[in-house]
Structure 1
Amino acid sequence: MDQDLEGLSREELVTELVKLRNAVRAHRDTSMHDLCWHHPGMWDLLPEKSAINPVVPEWPVFLRGCLRYRQSLDEQLPDAPRSKDEYSGGDGG
Structure 2
Amino acid sequence: MDTDLDSMSRDELLAEVKRLRAAIRAHRDSSGHELCWHHPDMWALLPEHAEKMPEVPEWPAFIRGCVRYRQSLDEQIPDAPRVAKEFQE
Q: CA-to-partner distance for each residue in 1:62-85, whole Å, 9 max, x for gaps?
A: 000000000000000100000001
What does residue range 11-30 of structure 1 map to in structure 2 within 5 Å?
11-30=11-30
Higher relative contact order (CA 8 A, sep 6+): 1
CA RMSD of aligned residues (A): 0.4
Distance 1:88 1:40 in 2: 20
How far apart are residue 34 of structure 1 and its match?
0.3
State the aligned residue count: 89
Find the counterpart in structure 2 of residue 87 from structure 1. Answer: 87
Greater helix content: 2
* TM-score, structure 1 normalization: 0.94
Unaligned runs of 5+ in 1: none
The runs of at least 4 consecutive aligned structure 1 residues that moved more than 3 Å come to none
Task: Determine what percentage of the aligned residue pairs are the same residue.
Answer: 63
When normalised by structure 2's length, the TM-score is 0.98
